[in-house]
Homo-oligomer: A and B are copies of this chain.
Amino acid sequence: MVEGPVTDEAVRPAGQVRRARVGRILKAAERLFAANGFEGTTTADIAALAKLPKANVYYYFPTKEKLYLAVLDRILDLWLGEADIWIVPSRGPREALTNYIRAKIDLAREHPEASRIYASELLRGAPHLTGYLHITLRNRVMVLGKVIDGWVAQGLMHPVDPVHLLSCIWAMTQTYADFAVQIAAISGKMTLDDDVFVRATHIVTRMVTAAFVVEAG
CB distance A116 to B126 under 8 Å? no
Copies in the complex: 2
What class of interface size applies to chain A in its complex with B?
35 or more
CB distance B182 to A133 under 8 Å? yes
Q: Kindly list chain B residues whose C-beta atoms are within 8 Å of the C-beta of A61.
A: none
A137 to B182, CA, bound (A): 9
A93 to B203, CA, bound (A): 17
Interface pick from A23-31, A50-58, A80-88, A205-213: A205-213
A188 to B134, CA, bound (A): 7
CB distance A199 to B120 under 8 Å? no
A186 to B30, CA, bound (A): 26
Query: Please, which residue of chain B has its CB at the minimum distance from the CB of A209?
Result: B211
Most chain B beta-carbon contacts within 10 A, residue among A37, A39, A168, A186 = A186
Chain A, range 158-207, C-beta contacts under 8 Å to B: 160-161, 163-168, 170-172, 174-176, 178-179, 181-183, 185-188, 199-200, 203-204, 206-207
Q: Tell me whether chain A's interface is mostly helix, strand or loop, or mixed.
A: helix
A120 to B36, CA, bound (A): 10
CB distance A124 to B186 under 8 Å? no
Contact A171 to B167, CB < 8 A, known contacts A182-B122, A210-B211: no
- Of the candidates B122, B130, B133, B178, the one whose C-beta lies within 8 Å of that of A122 is B178
CB distance B186 to A141 under 8 Å? yes
- A10 is an interface residue with CB less than 8 A from chain B: no
Q: Kindly list chain B residues whose C-beta atoms are within 8 Å of the C-beta of A141.
A: 186
List 10 tightest A-B contacts by C-beta distance, closest first.
Answer: A171-B175, A133-B185, A39-B39, A210-B211, A207-B207, A210-B210, A39-B40, A207-B211, A171-B171, A141-B186
Q: Chain A residues in contact with chain B, CB under 8 A?
A: 34-40, 116, 119-120, 122-126, 130, 133-134, 137-138, 141, 160-161, 163-168, 170-172, 174-176, 178-179, 181-183, 185-188, 199-200, 203-204, 206-208, 210-212
What are 5 A-B interface contacts by the 8 Å CB criterion? A119-B123, A122-B178, A122-B182, A126-B185, A207-B211
